[in-house]
Amino acid sequence: MSAARKAMIGRSREIAELAAALDAAAHGSGSSWWLSGEAGIGKSRLLEQLGALAAERGARLAWGRCWEAGGAPAFWPWIQVLRALFAETGAGAVPLAPARRAVLAELLPELRDDGWRAPDESSLAGEEARFKILDAVGGVLAEAARRAAPLVLAFDDFHAADPSSVLLLDFVGRAIRELPLMVVVSCREPDGSRSPVAPLLGALARRSHPLPLGPLADSEVAELVAATSPSALADSVSATIQHATEGNPLFVIEMTRLCAVRAASLRVSGAHDATGAGALAIPATLGSTLRERLEAVPGATREVLESGSLVGREFALADAAELTGVAVNDAAVHARAAVDAALVAEVAPGRFRFAHILIREVCYQALAPARRAEAHGRHAQGLERALIAGSAHTSWAECAHHWLAAGHAGRERAIAALRRAALAPRRAARLRGRDPGPRAGASRMGRGLRRRGAARARRAAPRARAHPQPRR
């Protein structure tokens, strides 16, 4: 963990407000908070700080991180929250009555009494099913909050939340004042305002206490530069960074690292000015800064990162190795170099997370479109095999996302996967609606999908042994 990551600079007013709310929640008076601001302004960092505050006070905090790269199943951030709550044992364990367990097993297949079986996500789609889930989660949270006193839920990147997750948060928020429960949501702007569920997000934001994050002050930027750079940069460099980044911490950190890399290479080449100033053609935007940072790492490392970016913000090394076509041991060496360059962090053994979603974006954009589509197809195929074998580590929604990104060749397999994913019928129908020819109504479309699926299965029968199709 770098010094910049440990040091929390500024934001004292926001931290004080959250600390007071945490104390109020401990006394049974809960509240909802809405952190908003542009990419890189420090929303996730403030949530991490809240995590530290909660730990100091003995409160329990559960994370719900939305998956921004597409393909997360419905209720994804809530699934993470519930998994964390049910993982608790001892006095904090939340009791689960059989009826509630049966409802929640639709989200968490591991709760099934009759043993594990692959989740049939389409069973979540109906209005009635959805209400049962809202009610069951509401009940579990109230119980968990009373036991934890207080319980804190931290939802990161909620601009990327699916509609079911937003509805559930709305439902939970309505009873929060009488519970030892605190909900803190981060939402990137303007992405939240452009989300398909923007009106719902707007209504939620209005019912929460607003915490809009603005730029860091000049003195705070200087502090961040000093905390990030391994050796002192010239004052002129620091001043230029302040001016160019307009107080966006991500921009500050990435530009400081870029200047430090340049200074180091000047030092190696024996140039006179080793403070970074000599090579100071400052990139004008955060995007170009990130691209230059990526170009500064060895090509083999870049390739592993690019493959990882196909998977999403977080990826397993084994997947990145396979997509790159290198041995896992070699990929591990390259990934280590990316960790040293602070482009990714190892979040669990063999699992890496891009330091910021924008770094993932830059890696992804660096891939040629044809390579991207081909690799998405290969990854989708691997996920499909894992799902059929009963893996709980992926979902039909994720599989469908990769088939879709594989382009035309993956479309039929995407439709098949979408049919298995939560709320898929509407999406599959939309996709089918792009077919040339007359547009069918939704139910006719469903029947058509089934017929085509069966015909495709018959056509694919000879290949089916080598590439098993999803169960229907």
Ligand X SMILES: Nc1ncnc2c1ncn2[C@@H]1O[C@H](COP(=O)(O)OP(=O)(O)O)[C@@H](O)[C@H]1O
Binding-site ranges for Mg ion (CB under 5 A): 44
Nearer to ligand X, 144 or 154 (CB): 154
**Rounded Cα distance, 472 and 454, in Å:** 10
CB of 220 to ligand X, least distance (A): 7
Nearer to ligand X, 50 or 94 (CB): 50
Cα dist. 30→14, 75, 84, 152, 166 in Å?
Answer: 17, 22, 20, 9, 19
Residue nearest to ligand X (CB): 42
CB of 338 to ligand X, least distance (A): 15
CB of 340 to ligand X, least distance (A): 16
Nearer to ligand X, 37 or 425 (CB): 37
| Residue 253 interacting partner from Mg ion, ligand X, none (CB closer than 5 to 8 Å by kind) | ligand X
| Site residues (CB under 6 A) for ligand X, limited to 38-77 | 39-45
Nearer to Mg ion, 44 or 395 (CB): 44
Cis peptide before 230 (omega within 30 of 0): no
CB of 153 to Mg ion, least distance (A): 16
Rg value, the chain, Cα = 24
- 3-class state of residue 366 by DSSP: coil
| Residue 32 interacting partner from Mg ion, ligand X, none (CB closer than 5 to 8 Å by kind) | none
DSSP secondary structure string, 243-266?
HHHTT-HHHHHHHHHHHHHHHHHH
| Site residues (CB under 6 A) for ligand X, limited to 1-30 | 4-5, 7-11
CB of 7 to ligand X, least distance (A): 6
Q: Burial letters for 302-328: b for 16+ Cβ neighbours within 10 Å, e otherwise?
A: bbbbbbbbbbbbbbbbebbbbbbebee
CB of 131 to Mg ion, least distance (A): 31
Binding mask 339-358 for ligand X (x = CB under 6 A): -----------------x--
Residue 171, Cα to own-chain centre: how many angstroms? 22
Crossing angle for the helix pair 198-206 and 163-173, to the nearest 10 degrees: 20
> Under a CB-based contact definition with an 8 Å cutoff, are residues 308 and 316 in contact?
no
**Rounded Cα distance, 412 and 397, in Å:** 14
| Residue 377 interacting partner from ligand X, Mg ion, none (CB closer than 5 to 8 Å by kind) | none
Answer yes or no whether residue 376 interacts with ligand X by CB under 6 A: no
CB of 354 to Mg ion, least distance (A): 11
Residue nearest to Mg ion (CB): 44
Nearer to ligand X, 4 or 343 (CB): 4
Nearer to ligand X, 5 or 101 (CB): 5
Sign of CA dihedral 308, 419, 107, 384: negative
What does residue 355 show for φ and ψ, rounded to 5 degrees? Answer: -60, -25
Nearer to ligand X, 293 or 356 (CB): 356
CB of 189 to ligand X, least distance (A): 10
For ligand X, which residue of 141, 181, 205, 224 counts as binding (CB under 6 A)? Answer: 224
| Residue 8 interacting partner from Mg ion, ligand X, none (CB closer than 5 to 8 Å by kind) | ligand X
Sheet strands side by side (includes 344-348): 314-316, 351-354, 344-348
Q: Kindly tell me the burial class for residue 203, based on how many C-beta atoms sit within 10 Å of its own C-beta (0-12, 13-18, 19 or more).
A: middle
Max CA distance (Å), the chain:
74
464, two tokens: 């089916």
Q: Please count the residues of this chain forming the interface with ligand X, following the rule CB under 6 A.
A: 20
| Residue 183 interacting partner from ligand X, Mg ion, none (CB closer than 5 to 8 Å by kind) | none
- 3-class state of residue 106 by DSSP: coil
Nearer to ligand X, 68 or 88 (CB): 68
| Residue 224 interacting partner from Mg ion, ligand X, none (CB closer than 5 to 8 Å by kind) | ligand X
Residue 188, Cα to own-chain centre: how many angstroms? 12
Binding mask 173-212 for ligand X (x = CB under 6 A): ----------------------------------------
In the complex, the residues that contact ligand X under the rule CB under 6 A are 4-5, 7-11, 37, 39-45, 224, 249-250, 253, 356
